[in-house]
Structure 1
Amino acid sequence: MKNLIKYIKSLDFEYAISYSGLRGEKFTKLEEENKKKINRLEKEIESSRLTEKSELTEEIEDLKKEVDIYNSRIITNKGISHKSTLQIHKFRKDDKEIHEIFEILNSKFEEQHFWMCPPIFRDAIVFYSEDGEIKGILQMCFSCSWIKNENEEDFQVDYKIFPRLMNLLIQLGHNIENE
């Protein structure tokens, strides 16, 4: 596990944007649309030729992956957003809110709990250079108190910071329900 404080200190960014996704009306609509498409494709498979079955099966798997909350990311390290991703708040490097977030994340480490649930990363803060290049990503799961970076590396984080971080992100516009 990586050290979050060292990661934050290593970030060289000009602005950051917080994102939310894999929840809400946009995600529910995507799930419904994909389910309909999957049902249609499964019926097509029944009457298709062998060469077509492989392509249709692959298309079904892609649709399933798109709504797989455990393996999806609301934004990738290449800057590709999930279809359900919403931009919530933009921070300048010297904004009070980004300093509050860093203060929370830099809180004294007391203990880490490992929940048995798999994390669902529905919230993220992405750090950008002046020309829009991604310099870092913090992906957060508030259900199991977990943070990963853009390289899928886990951070050792005191679970007690999550209620404070969640409250601050809610104040900024994130729609975090009790997950």
Structure 2
Amino acid sequence: MTNSITSSHYIQRLAFDYIETYSLQRGDEYEAALKVLKPEYNRLKVKKEKRNNLTETEEIRLSELDTLLGVTQYLIDDTGRFHFSSQRINTFQYDNEAVSLLKNILLAKTTDVSHWMCAPIYRDAIVFYKNSGEIVSVLNICLSCEAMAIDCSNQIVAGSGTYEMLRKFFKDIGHPVE
């Protein structure tokens, strides 16, 4: 079951002290890693599907690769590990003007919600922290299909205008947004 709330409800309920922005699943290093990992992943998947005779080591490796290359990837996985391709771009304290801008973007009225039929590829993310370093929330963002999620069970709904503003926000703070 998937829960969803609007971006304005999300940001209004969030108590945090600073944010970090991340870029993931893009760049030359990521593409090079995919060229190495995908053939191994596909070989193990086919072997399992056709013969179902993977060794214990191969089963473990297939599971690891599935975690790294499965359909929808998030900045932080279920075990708390950051995606292998993630790069921290910025850190902003709560009182920074970039955080104020981000909050205003997420508070934008939710109208003209797009419903693309593609699986999101989260290439940008924001991690909200307490001063202690504890993660309060992670917002995964796909600017291509206009989707946001905290995780696979919690979606954030926003209008097309919000994504246009987020695209500009990320570009302005140094994300390699296409």
Give me the TM-score of the superposition, normalised by structure 2.
0.83
Cα deviation, residue 26, structure 1: 2.3
Matched residue, 1:98 = 99
Matched residue, 1:59 = 61
Cα deviation, residue 132, structure 1: 0.5
Cα deviation, residue 12, structure 1: 1.3
Cα deviation, residue 77, structure 1: 6.7
Helix, strand or coil: the match of 1:154?
Answer: strand
Aligned ranges for residues 160-171 of structure 1 at < 5 Å?
160-171=161-172
Give CA-to-partner distance per residue, 1:23-78, whole Å, 9 cap, x none: 11221122123246558979xx9xxxx6x72431441342244133x322122476
2:22 paired with 1:14: no
Cα deviation, residue 115, structure 1: 0.7
Cα deviation, residue 108, structure 1: 1.8
**CA–CA distance in structure 1, aligned partners of residues 118 and 42 of structure 2:** 29
Helix, strand or coil: the match of 2:34?
Answer: helix
Cα deviation, residue 153, structure 1: 0.7
Cα deviation, residue 120, structure 1: 0.9
Give me the TM-score of the superposition, normalised by structure 1.
0.83
Matched residue, 2:33 = 30
Helix, strand or coil: the match of 1:83?
Answer: coil
Point out where structure 2 has 5 or more consecutive residues left out of the alignment. none
**CA–CA distance in structure 1, aligned partners of residues 136 and 68 of structure 2:** 25
**CA–CA distance in structure 2, aligned partners of residues 39 and 16 of structure 1:** 37
Point out where structure 1 has 5 or more consecutive residues left out of the alignment. none
Cα deviation, residue 86, structure 1: 0.2
Helix, strand or coil: the match of 1:75?
Answer: coil
**CA–CA distance in structure 2, aligned partners of residues 77 and 102 of structure 1:** 26
* 1:136–1:150 contact (8 Å) kept in structure 2: no
Query: What is the RMSD computed on CA atoms of the aligned residues?
Result: 2.5
Q: Determine which structure has more spread, i.e. the larger CA radius of gyration.
A: 1
**CA–CA distance in structure 2, aligned partners of residues 112 and 80 of structure 1:** 31
* Sequence identity percentage: 28
